Amino acid sequence: MDFMVFQYPMITVQACLDGILLGILFALIAYGMALQWGVMNIINIAQGDLVILGGYIAYFMYLYGIHPAWGVIVSPIIMYFVGVGIYKLVINKVVDRDLFISILATFGISILFMQLMNFAFGADVVLANSGYGTTFLFDSAVVLPNSKIFSAFVSIVFAIGLVIYMKKSKLGRAIRATAQNARAAKILGVDTEKVYAATFGLNAALCGVAGALISITFTIHPYMGLPYTIRSFMIVIVAGLGNLPGVAMSGMGLGVFEEFADYILGTEFRIGSVFLLLVLILVYRRFKLSRKREYLK
């Protein structure tokens, strides 16, 4: 164990800032998860793999000499169609079935994507270099890559944009109506099938944005998808469905937690601590609810 954190207070500041910037990205992915969970009642295990796929799109633009930041525009457009395609092929057959069936089906999609990406892009850890430089704060004691600040900013812009879109546009209203009561929405003339497809596409597009940002700020690798799924699941269950400020706050909290786990326990336990935290949160909520003789639904 490393107690650097307590000896050098600047590391605490560094970890907090890193964690918050990272957490904003997590919150964006979790927003997509909350969207499809709320509307279609599906937990998409392949969420993280969609993120990684979006990252590879940005990475390829970088390889062909286009600045990877444009991936933030291109990647969601491609990913939207990927999402709609997945919906048409698989999800629409499991959408009204048992939840475990949909978990297993998306788990299959996740394995499929993981392996196809491994074939197509190779098993190397890659990074799209944005060349944005770094910002130094407090006499260079805190180092922040500008790409992280950029990615947090873009995430916020996209999240706000989506909130406004959901409030104002016709499709947004249809999505919210379907989430409230699919049957009633159908009676009132909403084509729920189309709404579901659009929801899944929007979710995939959000994943695409997040993936492009991750490829700039961090690294991507075909097998790194599952931790992103678990993180977004965790954020959603902590915040609750349809609680956007909660999603943002718990995303940042998770980011800070991870940075501290990284410093204190060591990098090799980082992913493990995320998964353990999920188990602990679920168990904590289970005991809290069981006092009222209720259970997580």
Partner 1 sequence: MNKNVLLYSAILIFGLAAPFVFPAFKVQLSILCVLIVLAITWNIQGGEMGYNTFGNILFYGLGMYLCASVQVGMFFPLAEWTESGGEKTFVHTPTQFFQGMAAGLVVAAIVPTIVAGLIGYAILGLRGHYFAICTLGLGVAAGEISGGIEIIGAGQGFTTPPFPNVGGLEARGEFFYFLSFGALVLTFIAVRAIYSTRFRLILNAIRDNEDKAEAMGIETMKYKIIGWMVSAFFCGLAGGIMGGLVGYIDSTDVAFDGREMGVFMVLMAILGGKGTLWGPIIGATVFHIFKEGFWTFFLGWQYVALGVLIVVIVIYFPEGIMGWLREKYPERFGEVVDEADRKAQVELK
Closest CB to partner 1 among 18 and 49?
49
Tell me which residues in 222-261 interact with partner 1 (CB under 8 A).
Answer: 226, 230, 233, 237
For residue 193 the two structure tokens come to 């099938």
Specify the pairing of strand 134-137 against strand 142-145. antiparallel
d(CA 287, CA 282): 9
d(CA 228, CA 224): 8
Exposed, middle or buried: residue 243 (CB in 10 Å: 0-12, 13-18, 19+)? middle
Q: What are phi and psi of 130, to 5 degrees?
A: -85, -20
Tell me which residues in 31-70 interact with partner 1 (CB under 8 A).
Answer: 43
Site string for partner 1, 98-137 (x = CB under 8 A): -xxx-xxx-xxxxxxxxxx--x------------------
Closest CB to partner 1 among 190 and 277?
277
Closest CB to partner 1 among 10 and 280?
280
Q: How far is the CB of 260 from partner 1 (least distance, A)?
A: 17
By CB under 8 A, is residue 88 in contact with partner 1?
Answer: no
Of 86, 120, 119, 82, the residue nearest 105 (C-alpha): 86
Closest CB to partner 1 among 188 and 276?
276
CA angle at 217 for the pair 211 and 222, rounded to the nearest 5°: 45
Q: How far is the CB of 128 from partner 1 (least distance, A)?
A: 26
Q: Is 267 left (phi over 0), alpha (psi -120 to 50) or beta?
A: alpha
Q: How far is the CB of 163 from partner 1 (least distance, A)?
A: 26
Size of the site for partner 1 (CB under 8 A): 43
Binding site for partner 1 (CB under 8 A): 43, 90, 93-94, 97, 99-101, 103-105, 107-116, 119, 226, 230, 233, 237, 266, 268-269, 271-272, 275-276, 278-279, 282-283, 286-287, 290, 295-297
